[in-house]
Structure formats: structure tokens, C-alpha cells
């Protein structure tokens, strides 16, 4: 049998001491991304063994309101939601067999523009 590998995305909160502290999601399980607050975005993935649940990672970003202060992208200090979507899209569409640590608060590892607090919610199995 020929199994095709998928891009894997890693998310972990700052505590990393229990069952609901992180997850690794396949890019093909991506459901969507939304603005959670002016300083965070939420990514959602199909979760649980039968894919009936949803795993989410809410990740800190620079203040999104300040990303729109300048019409010239080269002068903006903070990313816009569109900028963040571009980063996520590039991760999801990367070559297969890739593993990305998107946001690991415990290890202090982030793909830019993510930073700060990571809150995860795992689907019940």
C-alpha cells in the first residue's frame, strides 16, 4: 500500500504537564482560522480518532489593530490578519513529510508572526 505523508503542525501551551496541553495536526485536517481577539488568532483542525471533534490552538500575535495603521506594508510594525493567513497557507501547502513547530510556548519556539500565549483545546477521543 502507498501511504502519502501529510504536513504536520505542532502546538503546545506553556504548562505541558497534562492531557490537554498540545497536539500535532495534519494539514489536511485544517478547518479554518479566525481572529480570537486583537492579539490572538484561533486555528481549528479535525480531531479525535474518528475526526468528529475539533482541536483548536489560540495563539498570541502582535496587536492586529496596529497592523492596519499604515497602507504601505513595508511601514507596518505589526502583521495584519491577511499576513498571518499567508503564513498559515504556506505551512499548509508545504512539501509533504514536513513537521513544523508552529507555536510551542513551553519551549519558546514559534513560527513568526506567532508569539506569547498558546491555549489549546483537544477533542475528546
Task: Identify the three-state secondary structure at position 124.
Answer: coil
User: Is residue 59 domain-resident?
Assistant: yes
User: Is residue 86 domain-resident?
Assistant: yes
Helices and strands per DSSP (H, E), number in the chain: 1, 8
Structural domain count, the chain: 1
User: Is residue 1 domain-resident?
Assistant: no
User: Is residue 106 domain-resident?
Assistant: yes
User: Is residue 116 domain-resident?
Assistant: yes
pLDDT tens, position by position, 63-112: 887 766 556 666 667 888 999 999 999 999 998 889 999 999 999 999 99
Domain region containing 65 = 8-121
User: Which residues neighbour 3 within 8 Å (Cβ) at sequence distance 6 or greater?
Assistant: none
* pLDDT reported for residue 42: 97
* pLDDT reported for residue 34: 97
pLDDT tens, position by position, 4-40: 589 999 999 988 676 678 999 999 999 999 999 999 9
User: Is residue 3 domain-resident?
Assistant: no
55 membership: H or E segment, kind and range? strand 53-61
User: Is residue 98 domain-resident?
Assistant: yes
User: Is residue 2 domain-resident?
Assistant: no
Strand partners for 14: none
Amino acid at each position: 500500500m502507498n501511504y502519502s505523508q501529510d504536513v504536520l503542525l505542532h502546538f503546545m501551551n506553556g504548562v505541558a504537564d497534562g492531557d490537554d496541553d498540545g497536539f500535532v495536526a495534519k494539514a489536511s485536517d485544517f478547518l479554518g482560522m479566525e481572529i480570537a481577539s486583537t492579539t490572538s488568532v484561533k486555528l481549528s483542525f479535525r480531531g479525535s480518532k474518528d475526526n468528529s471533534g475539533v482541536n483548536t490552538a489560540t495563539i498570541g500575535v502582535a496587536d492586529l489593530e496596529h497592523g492596519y495603521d499604515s497602507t504601505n506594508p513595508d511601514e507596518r510594525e505589526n502583521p495584519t490578519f491577511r499576513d498571518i493567513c499567508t503564513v498559515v497557507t504556506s505551512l499548509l501547502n508545504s512539501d509533504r513529510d514536513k513537521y513544523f513547530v508552529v507555536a510551542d510556548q513551553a519551549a519558546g519556539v514559534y513560527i513568526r508572526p506567532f508569539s506569547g500565549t498558546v491555549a489549546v483545546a483537544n477533542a475528546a477521543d
